[in-house]
Amino acid sequence: MLRWILSCFLAVSVLLTSCSNGGSVSASSSPSTTSQSPTAIATKVADATPKPSSTPQDPLQAALAKFVQLKGTATVELKLKSGTVKIELDGNNAPVTAGNFADLVKRGLYNGLTFHRVVKEPTPFVAQGGDPLGNGTGNFTDPVTSQPRYIPLEILPDGEKQPVYSEILPPTQKPKLRHNKGAIAMARSQSPNSASCQFYLALDDIYFLDGSYAVFGYVTEGMELVEKIQVGDRIESITITKGEENLKQPV
């Protein structure tokens, strides 16, 4: 039991460390990034959360409309040197998170990037990639605004109809999309709203991350290839093969 607890602690530390530098580097790149910072996103989403006295107009949906969303499901194929992995993105339960990833796939951002961190010892944990810098410190910079793009933490509690945004779930509340083996989720720094483009694939059931990181899909074919990923392995390409029509751009 002690070994398992230590393993969990070390695993989470690795995941946080790999992303925390990315958040600080991007946030400090220019004073003008404030409007797109994780803190600013948290404020906007929180302010838009409907209050008991709110009008029929849904301010939360208006705030979320500023993000790319996947309204439904989509299938992507991750091509590795060892073969092709199929992943189903769940935009029904994680529209903003799945939409952000699908949009980056469509842009071709991930093609040629590497898995910069793979943790298999003392127990299987994650294969993490999607960093444009290849070292765990990079984020996606929108070519139109020249600003880093972050998305809010988005987790749908099991049994609920509306995801919770910008908040980590309490331990007593389980998410609908759990960290089963083969889950794909967004990496982030300590700020809940600092996910940008780095993602990870769960190499085992890692439920201790449930409620703290946003799962947005699952591997449906080729998990044996995911388990063979090593540090430095290249993503030859990621393409959307089904459901691209469900990708909705911001309004």
Tell me the pLDDT tens digit for each residue of 33-77.
334 556 555 455 655 454 444 444 588 888 999 999 999 999 999
Task: With CA atoms as reference, report the closest residue to 91 among 74, 108, 103.
Answer: 74
Structural domains of the chain ordered from first start = 2-49+62-248 (2.40.100.10)
Q: Do 103 and 144 meet the contact criterion of CB atoms below 8 Å apart?
A: no
Task: With CA atoms as reference, report the closest residue to 223 among 248, 251, 201.
Answer: 201
Q: pLDDT tens per residue, the chain (251 residues)?
A: 444 444 444 455 445 434 443 333 222 222 233 345 565 554 556 554 544 444 445 888 889 999 999 999 999 999 999 999 999 999 999 999 999 999 999 999 999 999 999 999 999 999 999 999 999 999 999 999 999 999 999 999 999 999 999 999 999 999 999 999 999 999 999 999 999 999 999 999 999 999 999 999 999 999 999 999 999 999 999 999 999 999 999 97
Q: Do 158 and 49 meet the contact criterion of CB atoms below 8 Å apart?
A: no
Q: How far is CA 217 from CA 17, 112, 211, in A?
A: 23, 22, 15
d(CA 140, CA 133): 10
Residue 89 bridge partners (DSSP): 74, 217
d(CA 185, CA 97): 8
> The tokens 């972050």 sit on which residue?
150
